[in-house]
Amino acid sequence: MKPSGNTILITGGGSGIGQALAQRLHDAGNTVIVAGRRQNALDETIAGRANMHALVLDIESPEGIADFTERLLGAYPSVNVLINNAGIMRFEDLAQTHDLTDAEATITTNLLGPIRLINSLTDHLVKQSDAVVINVTSGLAFVPLTTTPTYNATKAAIHSYTITLREVLKGKVEIIELAPPAVQTGLTHGQETRPGYQPLTDFTDEVMALLTQQPTPPEILVERVRFLRFAEANGQFDETLTKLNAFAAQARNG
**Cα distance between residue 68 and residue 251, in whole Å:** 38
Is-catalytic flag, 151? yes
**Angle, alpha carbons 193-197-199 (nearest 5°):** 70
- Evaluated on CA atoms 36, 51, 24, 164, the torsion sign reads positive
Cβ(201)–Cβ(183) under 8 Å?
no
The active-site residue, picked from 76, 151, 161, 197, is 151
Given the DSSP bridges, would you call strands 7-11 and 81-84 parallel, antiparallel or unpaired?
parallel
Integer CA distances (angstroms), 32 to 23, 111, 188, 219, in order: 8, 23, 26, 22
DSSP code string of 53-112: EEEE--TT-HHHHHHHHHHHHHH-TT--EEEE---------TTS----HHHHHHHIIIII
Residue 52 contacts residue 31 (beta carbons within 8 Å): yes
Residues with a known catalytic role: 151
